[in-house]
Chain A
């Protein structure tokens, strides 16, 4: 083996070890301390207990924030997936500059600085007097839509057009073809798009930062304001661990339903 090849291997190996430690350790430390029985942060924790999880559900603002985040994620993911699927099915077989423009438009919120979107939405909501929950729902929907759009688009473009043509030539109306031919064939894309939109909504910060109201706060924003104004109490570690646990459940669901390959390609 040539020495420079060995050097290359060492660099790659050590960079990978460092990277994984830097990425995973912060999350791991939070999850471990959530089970601490102590009053304040201590690492490693002096023992194991469920104290802070019980405390989490005892605190009304935490419980409500968790419930609101779940409701929002379910509703926003469903709306975003419905709209994203429509856009994807419309664009799947279209070419030309209008189709390209529409595709960029539907994908734009993905790379657009979402903090600016949050400010713009707050301004709009102030002007038209939007209720807090609907405002949050629409914002989470806009942020989640590109994920659903992209996964369904990938599925729909991989589809053999002959299948849809067969449906239509056998006399099925466009709506029958959509519901009985196209959708069953792209359902994996639809499901993974929904799960992506759910995950994005459940962790959303930049738009929710401006749009949550008194008594209506999402879990990530509740964690943020606790950290900012009341210091790092361990109930925050429990809240964070619940956030992580829910993501684990969702990722496992994606894995079971559609397989891992799709998750990675969809990114």
Chain B
């Protein structure tokens, strides 16, 4: 009786996840290893050509390199700005910390298209920066700030920054202060204490922040399109173009290249930061 009841609870969410998450992905992979077809979604013959075309093409390799470069720049800035902010947040008294975190959480709930539009309004030819500089008579003609890779980095970085801050702040505020006090009472200065005690202890938060920001960067099609324009396309833009051109096997292969990239870098990030070591699980 108890087990029968348990199955009633599990069956609907499991069916939903298998049918509309796992299933479609398996099907997409199946299509990615088939030939293209002009009359149907995909041809009959099995082939690895879709993957070979991506990995062996210097155009796609340069897109992949640009994607990784943009992701690395976003991660770098997010860490550089996000870590001190998280530290600031963690040092606040509990009630005010809650307010600051809520203020950081709110922008994450606003749709990314609205936040990207905000950057279009700032960086566009008639935008805030260009009108400001013209009124100060620093420039004569508007600068082309939008539709550049830099615009993508700045826009996406600020859109994703709250994830980094919240992840690190949660770890830092849960940290036992007595570790830092012990280091200081043993004669370590604030800098030494930070580098050798606080920073290593906060790696679980850093790891989850880095992973979130990285994975969200890879699939941020709308932000990349609005801020980067046609000249700063990333891997995700290629997937979209493939789908709209009905090149299903090709688009499917690109999607799995993106996924492989995501998995490989997730493994790399976890291997470098080793968050589990801090929690006392393994070395």
Listed in ascending order, the chain A residues whose CB lies under 8 Å from chain B are 2, 4-5, 8, 11-13, 15-16, 18-20, 22-30, 33, 40-43, 82-84, 86-87, 89-90, 102, 105-106, 108-109, 111-117, 119-124, 126-127, 138-139, 141-142, 145, 149, 174-175, 199, 202-206, 209-210, 219-221, 223-224, 227-228, 232, 236-237, 240, 243-244, 247-248, 250-251, 260-261, 263-264, 267
Give the chain A neighbours of B133 by CB distance below 8 A: none
Judge whether A4 and B221 touch: CB under 8 Å: no
Give the chain B neighbours of A267 by CB distance below 8 A: 105, 166
Listed in ascending order, the chain B residues whose CB lies under 8 Å from chain A are 1-2, 5-6, 9-10, 12-14, 16-17, 20-25, 27-28, 31, 41, 81-85, 87-89, 91, 98-99, 101-107, 109-115, 117-122, 124, 126-128, 131, 157-158, 161-162, 165-166, 189-191, 194, 211-212, 215, 218-219, 221-222, 225-226, 236, 239-240, 243, 248, 251-252, 255-256, 258-259, 262
Judge whether A224 and B113 touch: CB under 8 Å: yes
**Contacts A90-B10, A124-B27 given; 10 further ones with Cβ under 8 A?**
A13-B88, A19-B165, A20-B103, A83-B13, A87-B13, A115-B239, A123-B31, A127-B27, A220-B222, A247-B109
Which of A12, A108, A174 is B88 in contact with, Cβ under 8 Å? Answer: A12
Which of B126, B190, B222, B251 is A2 in contact with, Cβ under 8 Å? Answer: B190
Q: What distance in Å separates the Cβ of B104 from its nearest Cβ neighbour in chain A?
A: 7
Judge whether A26 and B158 touch: CB under 8 Å: yes
Give the chain A neighbours of B117 by CB distance below 8 A: 26, 30, 223, 227, 232, 236-237, 240
User: Can you show 21 pairs from A to B with CB atoms below 8 A apart?
Assistant: A5-B190, A12-B88, A15-B81, A26-B119, A41-B127, A83-B16, A86-B12, A87-B9, A106-B17, A113-B236, A116-B255, A119-B28, A138-B16, A174-B1, A206-B219, A220-B114, A227-B226, A240-B114, A247-B109, A261-B98, A264-B166
